[in-house]
Each structure stands twice: as C-alpha cells, then as structure tokens.
Amino acid sequence: MIPLIGWLNERAMKWYTVAASFVTAGLAVSLFFSAGGGEFTRVWWIPGIDASVGIHLTGVGLYVAVVAACVGALAILYSIRYMEPREESYGPTRYYFLTLLFVGAMIAESMADSFLFLYLFWELIGVCSFLLIAYDYRRSRARDAGLKAFVVTRFGDIGLLVAVVTLWTAMNRIGAEDPFSIGGTIQAALAGQIPHHMLGIAGVGFIAAAVGKSALFPLHIWLPDAMEAPTPTNALIHAATLVNAGVYIVARTLPMFTVLPWWLPTLVWIGAISALLTAILALLERDIKHLLAFSTISQLGFMMAAVGAASVFASQFQMLNHGIFKALLFLAAGAVIHTTGTRNLFEMGGLRRSMPLTHITFAVGAAALAVFTLLNGFWFDNAVFEALLVNGHTIPLVMLVLAVILTAIYAFRMYWLTFAGERRSETEAADAPWQMAVPLVVLAVGTVIGWLYVGRLAAHLGTVLVYHDIPPIVPGALLQYTFNTALLALGGVTILALVWLGMRWSRHGSPVPEEPRMWADLVTDTKAFGDWLWGLPVVVMRAFAALISLGQTGDLNYNSLWLALGFIAVLVMLLGWG
C-alpha cells in the first residue's frame, strides 16, 4: 500500500537501491491487478486547514504509478553501469537518492487524493528534475539547463497553484469536510456546486500546469536542454515521470471540466500543434538525444489531444506504451552513446554488426514509435483518431495525421542513420554489459506484448474510474475494428513507403540524405527558436532590473528624497480615495 515511503528514506547503497526499486515496481504492479473499485486511505495532515493526505488508487493514477515504478526500476538497474565512469568525481549517493526521490514523488503524486498533496509532490518532482539535470555540475551547460527546466516548468506551476487554491476556496464555501479531496471536488463540480467562473480559473490553471510540465507548445523549450542530464535520468523524465505528470493531471481532473465548453477543444489544439511542430523539429535534428526529446513532446501532444477528445483510455494507453518504448529508445541510445562517445547521428552508422542486441531492441522501439504494424503505437494512434473523428475536430485531426506520418519518417531516419549503412567513425563499439542489456530486453519484450493487455486495461479502467466514462473494450473486436478503418490504408501506405525507402537506401549504401542537413539550418534552427522564447522575457527582466537599480544611488540625500516622495505619494493616494 505504501511503497512510496520505502522510496523516500533511501540511502545510496546501489544494489539496495535497485532492490528497493524492483520491490516497489512489483508492489505497484500487484496493486494494479488487485485494486478493485479504488482503495482509499486517509490521514489528517494539517488539521489547521483541514488538509488530509488521502491515498486513492484511481485507474489513471495507477497507470502513471506503474509506468513510473517499472521504468524507474529498470533505469536504476541500467544506471549502475552507465554511471560508473562518473561516480568518482560526482558521488553516487546524490544520484541514487535523487532518482529514488524523483520516482517516489511521482508515484505519490499519482496516488494522492488531495490537491494540496498532489501540488506538493508536483513541485517536488520539479526540484528533483532540476537537481538531476544539473547533476553533471562541472559543465555550466548542465547547470543552466537545470535552471531553465526548473523555471519554465514553474511557470506552469503558477497555474496549478492558483487552480488548487481556487478549488480549495470553492470547497470551503460549500462547507466540504475535506476541502482538498480530488474525488470530493469532482463530485461537487458535477453536482454544479462550484461556480462556473471558479471552475474556469481552475481549468485554465490545470491546462497551464500540464503545458509546462509536459513540455507542450509553447513551453516546450526546456526539454531539449534537459538532455544535459545523465541518460537514465532522461529516460525517467521522458518516459516515466516528469512529463507524464502533465497528462495525468488533466486526465484526472477531466470530469470536472466537462461543463466548460472551451476546455476540451483547447487541449486538442495544444496537443495537435505540439505534435506536429515537434515532429517537424525531430525530423531535422541531428543530435540523437535531442531528436528523442522532440519525439517525446510530439507523443505527449498526441496524449493531450486524446484527453481533449475525452478519450482518457486512449491517452492512458498511449502513456503506458510510450513510457515503455521511449525508455527503451533512450536506454538503447544511451548504450550507443556510451560506446561511441558521440551524440551526433551523422557520426554513427553501421552499428548493426558491432552491437547486435542494441540494434534489435532499438529497432523494436523505433518500429513501435513509427506506428508500425501491430505494435502498440500503431494500434493506439487509431484509437485517438477515432475519438477525434467522433468529436468532430477536423483541423487538429489533419495535423495529427501529418504528425503521425512525420513520426514514421523520423523514426526510420534515426534508425537508418544509427545502425544501417557503413561505419562513419573509427571508434570501437560493442554491446553493453548485462546490467545495461537486461533493461533493454525487458523493455523490448514489453513493447511487443504490451498491447495485448488492452482489454484487461480497459475493463480495469472502467471499474476504477468512477467519474470517467470508459466503454468496455474487447481485444478481438477492437483488433477487428482497427483493421476495418480507413486509417489502416494510411498505415499500410506509410509502411510500404518506408520499407521501400529503406531498401533503396540500404541497397545504394547511402542512408544519409544530404538535404535535411541544409533544411535543418535553414528552415528552423531549433535552438535559436527556443532561445528566443526563453531569452526575451529574461532580457526584459534584466533591463527592468538595471533601470530600478539606477534608483539605488547610495546617496543619503536621494534616499531621503525617496522617503519624502513616498510620503507625498501615499498621502495623495489616500486623500484621493478617502
């Protein structure tokens, strides 16, 4: 029931950490299968403001918790070898402590039935991510990236805090016994007890929070910079914890806002724009980790659009799948970087022979990413489209379809550049040691078979989500249905085109198209765009600071003058109002 507590008071003995993480993962999974209609525990935390710490196993939360626990455990196992060269200079204690805290906070957040508690862990995740991204503190880029990630996500947090406190106020006004309870708040909202303007404020707040945390447009700028973190941390941030929190929170509070007509379409638009924009950026990127980062944003865009289409199930299933295959891709990419020592795609290539295991697992991940055949990504995207079509969002739908096609293209571009063709650098390359290999294999297997559980998951969600509307889904029927849709044709065409392209490229031995490089520099210098969005407010802020600083002359006469002026201003204002 309380695996999270085990997470929090951890010391850094590495294997102990690994054991703890696997035990937690096991507990989380067993919870997942055993929990029925949502277990419920509640402890008073701050009697002064009637705040309690409730633990409520909702379906949505469990998904997040399971993904976080499993991927977290695998990533920690992987870290043992990956982090070895750095340990001497940086100290592993900090790393393992923070990683555990990170995953633990995510699990706690996903299970909390208290907005205050949720917000607390939400920010704790932010703190951990800052400290983990800046882990490599000798490089100033890592430190700056940590700062950037922290500050940008905190912009989203403004919204969440306002939303949480507004709902608290509203619940207090109707005299609720436990004003922070999420379930209670949803009930009250559905019963129409919360005034619409307050609900509107909260709705805006939750969207802002999700956009910041999930790195959606226009707050996506921090995620590529966050690539300065150690690779296992990237896997955690991208697949398991940080970014999923944003999707989780809108999915969790979705029923509350169905009364607001503008809420769902906003989510769809944000999701669609993010998905398409970052898919384009991913296509042009040369750094493998940055590419994966953009791909994450793109995938999160899909999830957000799915929530916006009121298809919570679709978004949750996507989250599960994405968590698995993105972790796989990151860890595999980490293995590649570990041996080749470069992150530039154009310096890799031909690793197929020297790293067979990594090659296969990476291919599985890339295929999944590329909406390939029966793997879960493919199945899932259809579900989103279905939901969107039903709700009649045509333009976002077109954008999403485009994004899917681009996803397939960039996934294969990445794969070809890395593993196919000839070696383009002289470095030695070999498969990773077993601590790194095991997570890869497990994740690859998970990617292949994960979708088989769809029926079970749907049934489970239907029972535990009291306030969401989840239709029961039977795998067989669904499969049949999927293959009957027109989208199958689209998928088929894409696959054929890609296979043909791939074969052509491998036959001609030139998997490196030169043109995209030029595009990359011409069309959109991704770094410059992000820097502009980030830099402008900072410049404005600094300019104001310089201006105000001029007033601090240090001269006693001026100080007295300020005092007299202050008095006159106060007097005039008081008399004016009086």
Partner 1 sequence: MEVLLPIVVLGGAGLLCYVIGRLSLSRSLTGCVALVAILGSGHVVYQLSESLDEGIVVGWPATGPELPLQSYLRADHLGIFLAAVALLLAGFVAVYSMRYMHRRNIGKFYALLLTMTAGIIGIGFAGDLFTMFVLFEVMSIASFILVAFEREEWEPVEAGVKYLVISTVGGLMALLGIAIVYSYTGSLDLAALPSLLAGDAGSAQLLTVAALFIVGFGVKTALVPMHTWLPDAHAAAPSGISAMLSGIVIEAGLITMLKALLAIGLANTGLLLVLIALLTMFVGNLVALRQSDLKRMFAYSSIAQMGYIFMGVGLALGYSNIAAFSGMRGGLYHILNHAIMKGGAFLCAGAFLYLLGTRDMRKLAGIGRSLPILGVCFVIFALALAGTPPFNGFFSKVLLVRAGADVGGWGLFMAVMLILNSVISLFYYVGAINTVVFGPIPDNRPKRLKPMPFLIALPIVVLAVLVLAMGVYPDLGLMIVDPAAQQLATMIGFG
Partner 2 sequence: MSPYAATGIIMVVIGLYAAMTRKNLLRVVLGLSIMARGVPLIFIVGGMQTGTMSAAQSIVITIIVIEAVTVAVALSLVVAAYNHNKTLSITALRRLKG
C-alpha 382/C-alpha 369 separation (Å) is 14
In total, the chain counts a number of residues equal to 578
C-alpha 171/C-alpha 156 separation (Å) is 23
CB of 536 to partner 2, least distance (A): 24
Q: Which of 48, 392, 554, 578 binds partner 2 (CB under 8 A)?
A: 554
Please choose, out of 118-126, 414-422, 434-442, 499-507, the segment that lies near partner 1 by the rule CB under 8 A.
118-126
User: Closer to partner 2 at the Cβ: 480 or 553?
Assistant: 553
Alpha helix segments (H runs only) across 112-195: 115-133, 140-173, 182-190
Confirm or reject binding of residue 169 to partner 1 (CB under 8 A). yes
For 107, half-sphere exposure in the C-beta direction (CA atoms, 13 angstrom radius) is 31
User: Closer to partner 1 at the Cβ: 51 or 264?
Assistant: 51
User: Closer to partner 2 at the Cβ: 34 or 549?
Assistant: 549
Please choose, out of 33-41, 112-120, 510-518, 552-560, the segment that lies near partner 2 by the rule CB under 8 A.
552-560
User: SS3 for 2?
Assistant: coil
Please choose, out of 62-70, 150-158, 349-357, 473-481, the segment that lies near partner 1 by the rule CB under 8 A.
150-158
Query: Looking at the DSSP assignment, which residues form a beta bridge with residue 54?
Result: 42
Q: Which does 536 bind (CB under 5 to 8 A by kind): partner 2, partner 1, none?
A: none
Strands 51-56 and 40-46: antiparallel
Q: Which of 477, 553, 568, 572 binds partner 2 (CB under 8 A)?
A: 553
Q: Which does 161 bind (CB under 5 to 8 A by kind): partner 2, partner 1, none?
A: partner 1
Is residue 54 within a helix (H) or strand (E), and if so which, with residue range? Answer: strand 51-56
Amino acid of residue 224 = P
Q: Which does 46 bind (CB under 5 to 8 A by kind): partner 1, partner 2, none?
A: partner 1
CB 481 within 8 A of CB 383: no
User: Closer to partner 2 at the Cβ: 484 or 557?
Assistant: 557
CB 82 within 8 A of CB 99: no
Query: Looking at the DSSP assignment, which residues form a beta bridge with residue 55?
Result: 41, 112
Confirm or reject binding of residue 555 to partner 2 (CB under 8 A). yes
Q: Which of 489, 547, 564, 574 binds partner 2 (CB under 8 A)?
A: 564
Vertex 211, ends 205 and 215: CA angle to 5°?
Answer: 155
Confirm or reject binding of residue 557 to partner 2 (CB under 8 A). yes
Confirm or reject binding of residue 561 to partner 2 (CB under 8 A). yes
Q: Which of 150, 257, 330, 379 binds partner 1 (CB under 8 A)?
A: 150
Is residue 331 within a helix (H) or strand (E), and if so which, with residue range? Answer: helix 312-340
Confirm or reject binding of residue 544 to partner 2 (CB under 8 A). no
Q: Is the dihedral of CA 427, 238, 367, 453 positive or negative?
A: positive
Please choose, out of 128-136, 334-342, 518-526, 548-556, the segment that lies near partner 2 by the rule CB under 8 A.
548-556
C-alpha 107/C-alpha 122 separation (Å) is 11
CB of 563 to partner 2, least distance (A): 8
Helices 356-369, 312-340: axis angle to 10 degrees equals 150
Q: Restricting to residues 42-81, which ones interact with partner 2 according to CB under 8 A?
A: none
C-alpha 437/C-alpha 431 separation (Å) is 8
List, as one string, the DSSP characters of 211-268. Answer: HHHTT-TTSTTHHHHGGGS-HHHHHIIIIISHHHHHHHHHHHHHHHHTT-TTHHHHHH
- Read off the tokens for 47: 């009697």
CB of 400 to partner 1, least distance (A): 32
Vertex 348, ends 345 and 354: CA angle to 5°?
Answer: 145
Q: Which of 12, 23, 29, 162 binds partner 1 (CB under 8 A)?
A: 162
- Read off the tokens for 404: 């899917």
CB of 556 to partner 2, least distance (A): 5
- Read off the tokens for 347: 């310096």
Confirm or reject binding of residue 549 to partner 2 (CB under 8 A). yes
Residue with tokens 């989250």: 319
209 to 238: interface string for partner 2, x by CB under 8 A: ------------------------------
CB of 107 to partner 1, least distance (A): 15
Phi, psi of 474 (to 5 degrees): -105, 130
C-alpha 319/C-alpha 64 separation (Å) is 8
| Greatest CA separation for the chain | 86
Confirm or reject binding of residue 545 to partner 1 (CB under 8 A). yes
User: Closer to partner 1 at the Cβ: 160 or 300?
Assistant: 160
User: Closer to partner 1 at the Cβ: 122 or 302?
Assistant: 122
CB of 551 to partner 2, least distance (A): 10
Q: Which of 46, 374, 430, 503 binds partner 1 (CB under 8 A)?
A: 46
Q: Which of 191, 489, 556, 575 binds partner 2 (CB under 8 A)?
A: 556
Q: Which of 151, 357, 360, 448 binds partner 1 (CB under 8 A)?
A: 151
Residues that bind partner 2 (CB under 8 A): 549, 552-557, 560-561, 564
Residues that bind partner 1 (CB under 8 A): 45-49, 116, 119-121, 123-124, 126-127, 130, 134, 137-138, 143-144, 146-147, 150-151, 154-155, 157-158, 161-162, 164-166, 168-169, 198, 201, 538, 541-542, 544-546, 548-549, 551-552, 554, 556, 558-560, 562-563, 565-567, 570-571, 573-575, 577-578
